[in-house]
């Protein structure tokens, strides 16, 4: 099984602090990287995490507030200066493509590589924005002060495992017989006996899943993104004492983030996008755990397995 892990690169909201940087999160799978948001100084955080920007395949931007995408021009410039040749996909709300390509040095003919934009339109519903043989990423609109989208990374369903010893005990002896059983087909032996695939192959298992739900009020689309996810990383800007401010600014409290995870039947919750007023995240974790026990504060550069083995 390929290891998939999430690395928070910045966990602060709006402005950086001495201890926290602005929003960016890397998902690493098999040496390749998906980058969720790209605030200023993301390049430095990638270096601090020991991640090569050259391995980034896709950048997914939630919304066009500067603390979520102002690091993208610098990252693109550095990739070009290092002679990147592979295309890079950038997903985000319109007019992200126009904003970026108007910056000197980032025009269509000025980079060493091709930018492939997937732009999300206001009023658009659920949409698959990345699709590979191994995983997909879907986007859903979430509730913020400006058009914003959350994302769900979903590995493809894993085939069941063949119990070869049991199959041999039932009479299978040939490679082709094992192959057909593994693929889900029943086989008939020379003496007429039938070995059912379901008797020797475990059921298919859903692949690992990760939901990235920043910046947002708790909302139905956020719950759908988090539905039975192995790991949910959710906006938890404020403690409950600032619930009114959370509503006014289009953010969530830690307790509200926990309610989204609980309603979605998620397995683990990471809290992030912390207001600079909190030097410690202990109060946020305590509030979240009253609602959803498996809640944790994201720690910058600390790797988190999407699915615990």
What is the set of active-site residues? 67
Render the burial of 208-242: b for 16+ CB within 10 Å, e for the rest: bbbbbbbbbbbbebbbbbbeebbbbbbbbbbbeeb
Q: Which residues contact 214 (CB under 8 A, 6 or more apart)?
A: 23, 36, 37, 62, 68, 150, 233, 234, 235, 272, 273
* Residue that has been written with the tokens 């139905």 in this structure: 220
Between vectors from CA 68 to CA 64 and to CA 73, what angle results, nearest 5°? 85
DSSP string, 22-76: BSEEEEEETTEEEEEEE-TTHHHHHHHTT--GGGEEEEE---S-HHHHTTHHHHH
């Amino acid at each position: 099984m390929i290891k998939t892990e999430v690395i928070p690169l910045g966990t602060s909201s709006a402005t950086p602090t001495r201890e926290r940087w602005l929003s960016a999160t890397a998902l690493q799978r098999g040496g390749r990287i998906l980058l969720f948001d790209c605030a200023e100084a993301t390049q430095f955080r990638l270096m601090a995490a020991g991640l090569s920007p050259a391995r980034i395949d896709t950048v997914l931007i939630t919304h066009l507030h500067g603390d979520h995408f102002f690091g993208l021009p610098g990252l693109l410039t550095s990739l070009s200066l290092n002679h990147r040749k592979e295309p890079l996909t950038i997903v985000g709300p319109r007019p992200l493509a126009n904003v970026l390509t108007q910056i000197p040095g980032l025009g269509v003919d000025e980079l060493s590589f091709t930018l492939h934009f997937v732009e999300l339109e206001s009023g658009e519903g659920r949409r698959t924005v990345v699709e590979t043989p191994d995983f997909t990423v879907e986007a859903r609109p979430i509730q913020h002060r400006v058009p914003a989208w959350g994302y769900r990374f979903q590995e493809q369903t894993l085939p069941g495992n063949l119990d070869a010893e049991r199959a041999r005990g039932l009479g299978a002896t040939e490679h082709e017989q094992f192959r057909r059983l593994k693929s889900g087909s029943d086989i008939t032996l020379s003496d007429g006996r039938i070995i059912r695939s379901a008797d020797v192959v475990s059921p298919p298992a859903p692949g690992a899943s990760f939901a990235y739900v920043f910046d947002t009020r708790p909302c139905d689309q956020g719950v759908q993104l988090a539905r039975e996810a192995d790991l949910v990383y959710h906006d938890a800007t404020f403690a409950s004492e600032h619930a009114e401010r959370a509503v006014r600014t289009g953010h969530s409290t830690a307790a509200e983030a926990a309610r989204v995870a609980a309603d979605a039947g998620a397995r683990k919750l990471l809290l992030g996008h912390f207001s600079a007023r909190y030097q410690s995240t202990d109060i946020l974790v305590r509030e979240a755990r009253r609602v959803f026990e498996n809640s944790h504060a994201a720690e910058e550069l600390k790797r988190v397995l999407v699915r615990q083995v």
